[in-house]
A and B are shown apart, each in its own frame.
Chain A
């Protein structure tokens, strides 16, 4: 026990004291927030002046509506302004890019080109010439049958500019819709008001009959899974390095003349994991402090803030399954580390196994649909999936306690077993430096050692 603690202490104190660790702990959140801020900053860069577009209106009456619609497009429309933040939260990345484009409030300079009896082809040639001379950036043709066909054409120097295309498309669409509505004697504002969508709010009926919104918990399940994934990406290599360290420095022989392989391997795993957990706790506390401060400021301004409402037992499950998920995958790195001689080799070997975690993410969807099925039961018992699938079951339709307990027991037993195997392989493999073990060899070592 004393030796086991000595191993943990060494792994922990050697790593926490490094400048790397301190730098990563301080800079980590900064880098992450930069990822959030930098794209927005880039999008807000306004390169060049307004986009100059010539409009050829063959219908003879659409230009003023189109002009109004395109110029207004950058400003929020009444009914959208009600829930802009909710929309921003749910947006997928492509939506977000488009919105960022809109936020840019790209300015347009429109110019109507009267046909004046000339054939359209001649006008196109003239406008094409102006585009080449860089007098305008493009031209838009509204055909005479625009209201019936719903098709317009845009010719531009930069036809791939999705923002410009989107603005023009939206503007022309709106103009056409309003023109059509006006043709049918319907007021556009009334239509917008009447076609506002319905929001479905969901409540969960739990064992004890309490009701609560489950949306936040889903986000938390995926957040937990994501944090497991990130932590493994960051610390898997560290564990690999810790296991290989004594092989590379040839210290293993002294170690094994003093300590058994299992406490050594377990000590390393726990020592490095404590480093990871220290870092996560610091980040977590910083985030919590920031969030509490933020909530305080918002409340002081009289804005209502909904704090996620999670039962303490669910919070405990989250913690336990997070630890399980982390340790199951961390042990894989320890196991791989016991077989290979360099960290590069180990990283390549461990990667395919870590992809199981991605599979677990996908498995969450069938489990959400039927959390009570036999399928859901088995995938929530399998230790490589349970950290995510069991959490999904807990927040959807909480399974009986024995299932949760069994899943945890299977998971942590797997961790202990894999660590024991890793220790065996490590000790035997150490006797043959410089050679990677083959699978049959490894199997023999596990049985013999």
Chain B
């Protein structure tokens, strides 16, 4: 496998369930050493796309390749998957479950025991190793399940909403591990509808809406292509100007400042002049990049 071969290559894939088209003519490619964000609202087709990548369902048309080859059972062993629908065997001890899932990936023996202990320690679950899953809190179960996805040291790791339901401490813990794996040259596909999280972790993104790809590329380029049309302000007065739709297309109030998206055809200078003319006191005026959330909302609402 050469460096240029993408780890995952999805080529013009379509999947229908009866009359409903879940994924329509979708292409994407994810590369080693990068985090690929698969973004989109609920029901956009993210999970179906992932299921085709991990070989749970087959596409109606198009091709899916892993590591430059069509999927086989053997290649499945190089993939780690944390599905959005999570579950563990309720009455099975955590240690036994981890071992079982590792065996399903063709990994067994003493090496597994060592890895299990290592990961449980890292995720602060050591004392829960001999407890049944039903005795663990939801967050702990989720961490245990994250271990099942990485225990066999996969080259491709697919995480579907890995942070939902975790407290900030554990979010940081998982994020740290994901970034380590990225630096170790693994490919990570990260599916979410939480744009704030994606923005911090992804190198590349693919935005899907209503079964179709809307946008794809490195996060940096995507953001730049949207231009600097957002402004962060701390201002007293001038409310009339900020709510003028010919100047501001979107306004978001935070605790002590506001973020506005400029209306098409307006530049930041116009806005500043108007505010000054209206005798508003401007203590902060900063051009910022649009957030991924703004890009997302703009695209999703355009279709509707």
Query: What residues make up the interface of A, taking CB atoms closer than 8 Å to B?
Result: 2-3, 6-7, 9-10, 14, 245-246, 249-251, 253-260, 427, 431-433
Contact = CB atoms under 8 A, between A and B. Distances in A.
A257 B87 contact: no
Given A250-B83, A254-B148, A258-B105, 7 more contacts: A2-B103, A9-B103, A250-B85, A251-B87, A251-B88, A257-B55, A432-B17
Contacts of A14: 89, 91-92
A246 B108 CA distance: 22
A431 B88 contact: no
Contact of A249 (B57, B90, B148): B90
A258 B87 contact: no
Given A250-B86, A431-B51, A255 B57 contact: no
B163 interface: no
A427 B56 CA distance: 8
Nearest to A427: B56
Interface string B68-108: 00000100110101010111111110000000110111101
Given A250-B85, A251-B87, A251-B89, A256 B103 contact: no
A48 B188 CA distance: 84
18 contacts: A2-B108, A6-B100, A9-B103, A10-B92, A10-B100, A14-B91, A246-B87, A249-B90, A251-B87, A253-B81, A253-B83, A253-B85, A254-B101, A254-B148, A258-B104, A259-B73, A431-B51, A431-B56
A260 B58 CA distance: 13
A431 B57 contact: yes
Contacts of B108: 2, 6
B144 interface: no
Contacts of A427: 56
B101 A249 contact: no
**Chain B contact residues: over half helix, strand or loop, or mixed?**
loop
**Chain A contact residues: over half helix, strand or loop, or mixed?**
helix
B132 to A, nearest CB: 11
A238 to B, nearest CB: 14
Contacts of B100: 6, 10
A14 B83 CA distance: 24
Nearest to A6: B103
Nearest to B73: A260
Interface of B: 17, 51, 54-57, 73, 76-77, 79, 81, 83, 85-92, 100-101, 103-106, 108, 148
B104 A259 contact: yes
Contacts of A431: 17, 51, 56-57
Contacts of B106: 2-3
Nearest to A14: B92
Nearest to A433: B85
A-B residue pairs, 4 tightest by C-beta? A250-B87, A6-B103, A249-B87, A258-B104
A6 B56 CA distance: 20
Contacts of A253: 51, 56, 81, 83, 85
A68 B77 CA distance: 88
Which of A250, A251, A258, A431 is packed against the most chain B CB atoms within 10 Å?
A258
Contacts of B57: 431
Contacts of A432: 17
A257 B89 contact: no
Contacts of A3: 103-104, 106
A260 B57 CA distance: 11
Which of B54, B55, B101, B104 is packed against the most chain A CB atoms within 10 Å?
B104
A256 B148 CA distance: 14
Nearest to B86: A250
A257 B152 CA distance: 13
B81 A254 contact: yes
A258 B90 contact: no
A427 B54 CA distance: 13
B85 A258 contact: no
Nearest to B107: A2
Contacts of B101: 254, 258
Contacts of A259: 73, 104
B81 A257 contact: yes
A427 B57 CA distance: 8
Nearest to A1: B106
B86 A258 contact: no
A346 to B, nearest CB: 19
A7 B76 CA distance: 17
A335 to B, nearest CB: 21
B169 to A, nearest CB: 25
Given A2-B106, A2-B108, A3-B104, A257 B56 contact: yes
Contacts of B148: 254
B88 A249 contact: yes
Nearest to B22: A431
B259 to A, nearest CB: 38
A432 B51 CA distance: 13
Contacts of B85: 250, 253, 433
Contacts of A249: 87-90
A257 B103 contact: no
Contacts of B56: 253, 256-257, 427, 431
